[in-house]
Amino acid sequence: MKTISTTNSRGEFVRAPSEFRNWVTQDGTAGPTGSGGFKAEPGRYHLYVTYNCPWAHRTLIFRALKKLEDVISISVAHPQRTPEGWSFLLNDANSSDGLNGFYYLKEAYEMAAPGYEGRYTVPVLWDKNTQTIVSNESADIIRMLNSAFNEFTPNQDNFYPLPSRAKIDEINTFVYNQINNGVYRAGFAKSQAAYEQAYNDVFAALDELEELLSHQHYLLGDQLTEADWRLFPTLIRFDLAYYGVFKCNKKRLVEYKHLWAYTRELYQYPGIAETVNVDHIKQGYWRNSERNPLGIIPVGPELDLWEPHLRLRNEFARASNLTGS
């Protein structure tokens, strides 16, 4: 099986870059990376995902946000990887590949690039017409879903608007380095110093966001953007997995008043709860591994994700006026 992580000489986790970086565009021209030839068409594209992977979760979120369920089909892999990587159980309706009948995700990579020797990661955006991988970079895929398929959906919301892109990119970089990838830097660290640095980075960032969300609604103020949806998959997994498996155990997310309410608000956003599979998340992270050698999956924690979040826009406006900001 291809390794999912590497470490440097200091024992720090280093994530390998995605290797398929083509784009689906409205007219089929090339996107910011890769080559052209992938035109947005209903029924042409397919997502290979797992419910436990936060990077794959991003794509499920945008598929739901943009109401693309009838435009882009999906196959969901089993949450526990095998020695051959992500697998699809042919007799399991919840973890099967109804498109190509693949048993392992690696079959998609090998069909797209014979002799491929990289990592077999999710998500994968697959082109049914040319039988190849368009992209395995989640950050690119969510931007394709955000705008390329607007002709085929009633939802024209833009979560990456041009006037806000510089600020979104800035926040994304901070959130990715300190939180999204920060929990993995802690969990996959091979030295005490590397672990402690990642641990401190994660909680410093959570403290900063807790303060930010105490006086504004979203990461960009009143505007719900891509940045919020890139943060959400890590937050929803925090108490379920990262607190225990990755030893990010200074505080549980439920102890952050504003972050926890913000997480519940995003979870309760139309269509989002259906993209969260708590059982798959726990199975995926607590599987048999060097971090949990017996593979015992915890029953808890009990999280009431439908508890009213009580985050009202006028309350933030009032707070802003009181502080003069």
Q: What is the pLDDT of residues 22-42, one digit of tens each?
A: 999 999 999 998 888 899 999
3-class SS of residue 233: helix
Q: Check residue 85 and give its pLDDT.
A: 93
Strand partners, 6: 14
Three-class secondary structure of residue 136 per DSSP: coil
CA-CA distance, 55 to 229, in Å (whole number)?
11
Closest CA to 125 of 139, 176, 284, 101: 139
Q: How far is CA 177 from CA 83, 174, 201, 236, in A?
A: 29, 5, 9, 18
Give, in degrees to the nearest 5, the angle at Cα 225 between 223 and 228. Answer: 105
Supply the pLDDT for residue 91.
Answer: 61
246-305 per-position pLDDT tens digit: 999 999 999 999 999 999 999 999 999 999 999 999 999 998 888 888 999 999 999 999
Q: Which helix (DSSP H) or strand (DSSP E) does residue 76 occupy? A: strand 72-76
Q: Scan for tokens 């024209």, then name that residue.
A: 156
Predicted confidence (pLDDT) at residue 130 exceeds the cutoff of 60: yes
pLDDT in tens, 225-240: 999 999 999 999 999 9
Residues with active-site annotation: 53, 184
Average pLDDT taken over every residue of the chain: 92
Q: Each residue of 118-145: b (16+ CB within 10 Å) or e? A: ebbbbbbbbbeeeebbbbbbbebbbbbb
Whole-prediction pTM: 0.92
